[in-house]
Structure 1
Amino acid sequence: MAKAVDLGHGISLIDLYDLELPKRTGAYVIEGDELTIVETSASPSVPYLLKGLDDLGLNLEDVKHIIVTHIHLDHAGGVGLLLEKCPNATVYVHPRGKQHLKDPSKLIKGAKAVYGEKFDELFDPIVPVPEGRLQEQDDSSQLNLGDRTLTFYDTPGHAKHHFSIHDSKSNSIFTGDTIGVYYPDLLEFDVEFVLPSTSPNQFDPDIMLDSLGRVESLEVDAINFGHYGQSRNPKRVYAQIREWLPRFLEVSEAALESHQGANLDDQTEAVQKALFDLIAQHLDSLNVPKDHKVYQFIKLDADVCGLGIVDYIAKTKR
């Protein structure tokens, strides 16, 4: 198991091995006057988070704040389970997400509908968070940690229940999924690669770009992604999302056009294949081997993004 990565300014990144994959989903630990954790992933990842905290020499009793950027299960599914181990912690969540952490029945029902028999392996257990330990954070609200201030910004587009958190000490921002997915395995090719995350069912490209613009206006020095790791080249990140998002929509619309009359499953598969092929062609142009491990992530993300784009197009054509 990988050791926590020191990102400087008292921030460490712990690999949570979401889906049992390294460098898939991470938690950020902010040390200092008020020990803070950003993101938990799903419950099967909590043991990795606990081990990472132990490796850092940190005590669970000292955890004061647990923040989830949004309530998708790969970011917040394990928060209730983690909270049971952290007796002095409060959970911070977007106002639209608070009810679902308090009563996760709808989250569970939705995940079971999508994942079926795989639900238990991927997400179980999803533990409710007591209302008394939940704190909503409104847009532009702040959390003072003593030696730094965290500022919460409403950043929808990926999901309506999404915020991003700016850290004053490092001048970095925790963006969850709202401005994309980062692929650190490609750094071995000197490629810093980011793609939009267009998962269902609240994806909206125009709102996503508005949120990107808001993050960009903060002039941060680094971006801390939920998937996975830190980029110290924010301008490159913004440019790639602005480049890839319209391309995602263009090839998806073309795939749907060529499969008019087909059933929804076949249409969705066509969009997923079109997205994967588009990305693969780009990676091929960069001389990334076709058997490189990054393709496992690309396939997962193309499938999820395809679902979200098909859902978005269906809604906009109503």
Structure 2
Amino acid sequence: MSAGDVFDVSGCPGISFVDTGMYDTAEYGSVYVIDADRPAVVDTGTGTNYERILDALEEHGIQPADLQAVLLTHVHLDHAGGAGLLAEACPNADVYVHELGARHVVDPERLVEGTKQAVGDQWQYYVEPTPVPEDRVVELTDGDTVDLGSRTLTAHHAPGHTPHQVVFEDHSCDAVFTADAAGIWVRAQDRVRETSPPTDFDLEQCIDDVEMIRRLDPETLLYAHFGPGPADTDAVLKEYEHVLRDWVAAVKREVIERHSEAAAIDHFAATTTVEDVWGEHKARAETKMNVRGVLRYLNTRA
């Protein structure tokens, strides 16, 4: 599997996903194409190489003018950075986003500033986001539905990762587009991994979000990072609860033992287990970011 490859989702007719090659890393960022009466995409990647999304649409015979909806799970720029570029290329597509994130796709200046602080030198893999015209933004709140004609999606608020996050439930094939609420599915290692970036990570709310998805009882989990998850959805969701609790406990323990937050960050970066999958730079940079998110959570609680 490599950047630009498009794959159908087994058990979900009409849904495929493209590997966007996010961060110059294969099997990290996926954007989903929904071939419906009103065609849609779920998330947009960073905006870098957004043409790969247009190519994925073309594989389904969907022309840019045919796209009707860009569904953003949240406005972090690895999910929403390409929204403005797609809006320009697809003039009939509205951009659906939770009401708390809508202003940031219209005016992304503060979002860019916060992203640069969070991702550090990973910013080299982003492009400056293009604003989305305000009259093309559709604000969502918990329980709102998106009518795509031949299928309907329901937005469920999942604010543990960030207050403007939703997951989309596709009733036609009993699938949930998980955003970052169910963690990162590392396909090459057949496991789920934590995601806890600053500044909004909240352990208890993240656990509540996982429980919410479990109550939906989906047959398929569609991860933004990366691709469809394992067949036993309940088991992997239960596993993610343990991953989150263990991760936060481990960060707290290392800070206490090393008497230094900086030393704890360096320790986790040096011992990350995904270098063989994502490469050293991405693996270490993401690990550091996730540790910083937990530290902010712990310090805020304290």
TM-score when normalising by structure 1: 0.87
Contact 1:276–1:302 under 8 Å retained in 2: no
Counterparts of 2:157 and 2:270 in 1: how far apart (Å)?
30
| Aligned pair partner of 2:35 in 27, 31, 34 | 31
Contact 1:268–1:307 under 8 Å retained in 2: no
Other structure's SS at 1:292 match? helix
Q: 1:157-211 CA deviation, whole Å, 9 max, x = no partner?
A: 111110000001110000110110001122xxxxx30022111110001000111
**Amino acid in the other structure paired with 1:241:** Y
Gaps (5+ residues) in structure 1?
Answer: 187-191, 284-290
Identity %: 27
1:294-305 correspondence runs (5 A): 294=278, 296=280, 298-305=283-290
Contact 2:118–2:197 under 8 Å retained in 1: no
Counterparts of 1:157 and 1:275 in 2: how far apart (Å)?
24
Gaps (5+ residues) in structure 2?
Answer: none
Contact 2:102–2:137 under 8 Å retained in 1: yes
| Aligned pair partner of 1:64 in 50, 61, 68 | 68
1:296-315 correspondence runs (5 A): 296=280, 298-315=283-300
Alignment correspondent of 1:199 = 197
Instruction: Provide closer, same or farther for how the CA distance between residues 252 and 113 of structure 1 changes in structure 2, counting only shifts above 3 A.
Output: closer
Counterparts of 2:78 and 2:212 in 1: how far apart (Å)?
24
Greater radius of gyration (CA)? 1
**Amino acid in the other structure paired with 1:242:** E
Alignment correspondent of 1:83 = 87
Q: 1:68-110 CA deviation, whole Å, 9 max, x = no partner?
A: 1011110001111111000000000011100111111101222
Counterparts of 1:151 and 1:182 in 2: how far apart (Å)?
22
1:134 Cα deviation from its structure 2 partner: 0.2
| Aligned pair partner of 1:273 in 267, 277, 282 | 267
Other structure's SS at 1:175 match? strand
Other structure's SS at 1:127 match? coil
1:300 Cα deviation from its structure 2 partner: 4.1
| Aligned pair partner of 1:141 in 141, 144, 152 | 144
Counterparts of 2:268 and 2:184 in 1: how far apart (Å)?
18
Instruction: Provide closer, same or farther for how the CA distance between residues 73 and 140 of structure 1 changes in structure 2, counting only shifts above 3 A.
Output: same
Contact 1:251–1:274 under 8 Å retained in 2: no
Counterparts of 2:66 and 2:18 in 1: how far apart (Å)?
17
Alignment correspondent of 2:257 = 258
**Amino acid in the other structure paired with 1:146:** G
Other structure's SS at 1:44 match? coil
